[in-house]
Amino acid sequence: MSQRRVAITGLGLVSPYGGNTDDFFTRLCAGQSAVGHLLTDDVPRPLSIPFVSCSGFDPDVALGKPLASMMDRFAQLGMAAAFEAWDNAGLARQADGESRDDWGVAWGTALGGTLAYEKGYRELWQQGRERLSPLTVILGMNNAANAHMSIQLGLGGVSMSHTVACASSAIAIGEAFRRVRSGEATIMLTGGSDVPQAYGVARAWEALRVMAPGDAETSAVACRPFSVDRRGLVLGEGGAALVLEDWEHAIARGARIHGEIVGYGTSCDHSHLVRPEAAGQVRALQLTLADAGLNPGEIDYVNAHGTATTEGDPVEITALKTVFGNHAERLAVSATKSMHGHSLGAAAAIEAIATVLALREQTVPPTAHLAQLDPACTGVDHVTTARTGQPLRAALSNSFAFGGSNAVLAFRAVVQ
């Protein structure tokens, strides 16, 4: 079966910056941190942490109150991003005569509806209730977001959710790409959403001791990937969606093409649940390049996984140097999590959009707050202020997850 080209015709996200994808990219290029300080209330013990919140998002406004009431916040964020991407692609929300039986959804989430479940636990154990809302399961299930997308947009093709920790939406995007490329689908709506704001989730991550400390004055610069003084990641919420479309179908309907997705590779370290391994990441990078038919020297930019953990950052740089060899020193690398935080299952989709926009705008967004590079992270071209004027032909977006799951996406710039 011949392989088809896959166009990216729609982009949408719910961002802590508000606005749209273009505004999001402008803020990234300005090095503007969205990290704030979250002090939880109505909990057994207040938890004060740096966090990235989409505080301006009103689901009743974005979706309408009847639809929003049927969703946990993770699905609300995802549905709003999906609607924006769909509109951005110039597609009608209701089928206009063309069959959508081979149009589908692939969505990523690490947590699903944890807020709904935590609400239920509190009602049972703290308030002593005997019955829960009959919507609890519907709100909490991991496939709630993609199910609503299929219903709202009349998509009769595959509807699947992927839960692979921090690589969830990268794998969702990769699997959607494969379906369009093979001809199994004409259009795939894909991306991810997550909301790690539940008190139990935040306390669980706190217990891992991988979260950056901070207070109201220092939270904005708490996430410092590749920096010698980095102290961990910053959690955040978000939703991001892309429309992947058969190239010829997109051209025939006169769609705007933001970029082209050309490769996808995934691997497992198979060595440790939480400690990353360079060899596994190397395999994912090599598989992606082979899948895309690209040589290492043709990659101009990598949006790094870059979570600012002490172990993870040097391992990723080692993997890049292994794969790219002499080209590594000319390879532009940045970690945008320094600004938008780590939204777990949504992170890869947010970073995929940042990578596509970098190619479209021919501008590399920076790693913010990187004042002094860790000697263990040298050997690549770290971008610390937005860079223009350097031709960008192709780029990679890395996502490496607990459980040893690695996923890499390859994108190519499109000259309109």
User: What is the mean pLDDT for each group of 10 consecutive residues in the chain (416 residues)?
Assistant: 91 92 97 90 78 95 97 98 98 90 98 93 88 92 98 98 98 98 98 93 90 90 97 96 98 98 98 95 98 98 97 98 98 98 97 98 98 97 95 98 97 86
- Pairwise CA distance, residues 95 & 100, whole Å: 7
C-alpha dist (Å) from residue 386 to 160, 328, 334: 36, 19, 10
The answer to the question of residue 128 being in a domain is yes
- For residue 63, the domain's CATH number is 3.40.47.10
Catalytic (active site) residue 369: no
- Pairwise CA distance, residues 310 & 256, whole Å: 41
Verify that 214 and 227 share a domain, yes or no.
yes
Catalytic (active site) residue 342: yes
pLDDT at 44: 75
Please give the tally of structural domains in the chain: 2
Domain boundary, last residue among 241, 259, 277: 259
Catalytic (active site) residue 166: yes
Half-sphere CA count of 202, side-chain side, radius 13 A:
26
Verify that 229 and 378 share a domain, yes or no.
no
Residue 145 token pair: 């977001």
- Pairwise CA distance, residues 265 & 397, whole Å: 11
Marked catalytic residue, from 29, 54, 148, 166: 166
The answer to the question of residue 394 being in a domain is yes
DSSP β-ladder status, 381-382 and 332-334: parallel
pLDDT at 267: 98
Chain centroid offset of residue 84 CA: 16
The total number of residues written for the chain in this structure:
416
pLDDT at 416: 58
Marked catalytic residue, from 148, 162, 340, 342: 342
Verify that 314 and 288 share a domain, yes or no.
yes
Q: Which residues contact 345 (CB under 8 A, 6 or more apart)?
A: 108, 109, 110, 111, 163, 165, 166, 168, 169, 192, 193, 194
Chain centroid offset of residue 134 CA: 31
In this structure, how many other beta carbons lie within 10 angstroms of the beta carbon of residue 121? 12
Domain boundary, last residue among 259, 275, 304: 259
Domain boundary, last residue among 211, 227, 259: 259
- Pairwise CA distance, residues 214 & 390, whole Å: 35
pLDDT at 216: 82
Q: Domain span at residue 206? A: 6-259
Q: Read off the pTM.
A: 0.97
The answer to the question of residue 1 being in a domain is no
Verify that 341 and 239 share a domain, yes or no.
no
The answer to the question of residue 120 being in a domain is yes
